[in-house]
């Protein structure tokens, strides 16, 4: 359902503040309860929890998520169609030399 809402945002049902906060709290609890043991052993319990909270809070920003998706899409496009990278580089070079 989340993927459907990502591609068809007009299907979203607006949430009230209490419901949104409850969902965020449940998601945060789920993320914190599933920190990989390797990470805990590598950096310690407190650092792994702190880092996980920072990552979780960062991915809650809608603008940053869109930017990450655009960057990943651009990388995929350049890998699938390498001629785009060459034409894009040529275009930038011409704009700097003109």
Give me the pLDDT at residue 29, please. 92
Domain assignment of residue 4, yes or no: no
Condensed to tens digits (0 to 9), the pLDDT of residues 60-78 reads 888 888 998 999 998 898 8
Domain assignment of residue 10, yes or no: no
Burial class (CB in 10 A: 0-12, 13-18, 19+), 56: middle
Domain assignment of residue 11, yes or no: no
Its domain, for residue 39, covers: 16-60
Q: Which two tokens stand for residue 23?
A: 């969902």
Give me the pLDDT at residue 96, please. 60
Residue 45: band (very low, low, confident or very high) from pLDDT cuts 50, 70, 90:
very high
Give me the pLDDT at residue 50, please. 94
Pair 31, 52: CB distance under 8 Å: yes
- DSSP class of residue 15 equals P
Give me the pLDDT at residue 17, please. 82
State mean pLDDT over 81-97. Answer: 69
State mean pLDDT over 15-27. Answer: 84
Same domain, yes or no: 54 and 71? no
Other C-beta atoms lying within 10 Å of the C-beta of residue 63 = 7
């Amino acid at each position: 359902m989340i993927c459907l809402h990502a591609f068809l945002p007009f299907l979203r049902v607006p949430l009230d503040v209490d419901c949104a906060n409850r969902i965020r709290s449940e998601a945060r609890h789920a993320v914190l309860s599933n920190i990989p043991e390797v990470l805990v052993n590598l950096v310690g319990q407190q650092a792994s929890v702190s880092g996980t909270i920072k990552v979780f809070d960062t991915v809650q920003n809608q603008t940053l998520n869109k930017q990450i998706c655009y960057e990943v899409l651009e990388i995929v496009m350049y890998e699938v169609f390498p001629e785009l990278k060459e034409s894009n580089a040529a275009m930038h070079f011409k704009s700097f030399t003109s």
